[in-house]
Amino acid sequence: MQDSIFTKIIKGEVPAEKVYEDEANIAFLTIQPIQPGHTLVVPKQQIDELWDLPDDAYNSLMMASKKVAKRLKEVTGKKRVGVKVEGFEVAHAHIHLIPMDSVAEYNAPPQDAKSEELAGMAKKLAF
């Protein structure tokens, strides 16, 4: 299997604004956020679909997502952190965490983010 863009980020071959990392998972800001702080939580093991992860990897990913979501809510001050799993853009299981105050914010189209905006948000969110 060819390395996904996420595997390349994990290996340090492609830069990303990382906000969290543990032995099994990594979280970084997406370059096309739906809302500021929109974060991807990704298992380091490259498996295409979320539902194909071994139970221990799935549970670890969910626990990491919970930690990051709590941090997102704390830092952004948003009412909720929405979760999105669609699985089409990158053949590597991942979870989108989207800080929001409304369904309209959750459903907004993604926008290209400036590197300075991402760096500033990553600094605020970093564990």
Active site residues: 94
Q: How many residues does the chain have?
A: 127
- Measured CA to CA, the distance from residue 56 to residue 59 in angstroms comes to 5
User: Interior CA angle at 90 toward 93 and 106, to 5°?
Assistant: 80
**Closest to 65 (Cα-Cα) out of 54, 76, 52, 81:** 81
